[in-house]
Amino acid sequence: MFYRYQEWKDRLHNFNDHIILDISLCLTLRNLLQVHTSVNRAVEFLQLTTGIEFPPPETILHAYLQFEALTDHEYKYSCPTCGDYPPVVIMGVHKQTASPLSGNDIEKPPGNFKGEVNLEEFWESLSKEMISRGFVANGRHDLFAVPPSYHFWAPWIGKNTRHSDTVLNTEFEKVTEERLREELFKQKDDVIQSLCHECAVESTGSRSDLLLRLSDEMKSRSATGGWGVIMCPCGIVYSLKCSFQAESHRDFADLLLS
- Please give the single-letter amino acid code of residue 56: P
pTM above 0.85, yes or no: no
CA distance 150 to 110: 9
Q: Which domain holds residue 12?
A: 8-69
The 8-class DSSP code of residue 232 comes to -
pLDDT value at residue 4: 66
Q: Is 16 exposed, middle or buried (0-12, 13-18, 19+ CB in 10 A)?
A: middle
pLDDT value at residue 1: 44
SS3 248: coil
Q: What's the total number of domains in the chain?
A: 3
Task: Classify residue 205: in a domain, yes or no.
Answer: yes
Task: Classify residue 80: in a domain, yes or no.
Answer: no
Same domain, 155 and 246: yes
Same domain, 115 and 128: yes
Q: Which of 251, 250, 248, 246 is nearest to 223 (CA)?
A: 246
Same domain, 98 and 65: no
**Taking the chain (258 residues) in consecutive chunks of 10 residues, what is each chunk's mean pLDDT?**
67 89 93 92 94 93 94 82 92 67 71 92 94 80 86 91 93 73 78 80 80 74 72 91 81 90
What's 28-95 look like in SS3?
Answer: HHHHHHHCCCCHHHHHHHHHHHHCCCCCCHHHHHHHHHHHHHCCCCCCCCCECCCECCCCCCEEEEEH
Task: Classify residue 155: in a domain, yes or no.
Answer: yes
Same domain, 189 and 211: yes
Same domain, 35 and 103: no
pLDDT value at residue 224: 61
User: What is 134-177 written as a DSSP string?
Assistant: TTSPTTS--TT----BSTT---EE-TTTSSSSEEE--GGGSPPH
CA distance 145 to 147: 6
Same domain, 239 and 147: yes
Q: Which of 181, 179, 156, 178 is nearest to 167 (CA)?
A: 156
SS3 255: helix
Q: Which of 174, 258, 151 is nearest to 224 (CA)?
A: 174
Same domain, 121 and 54: no
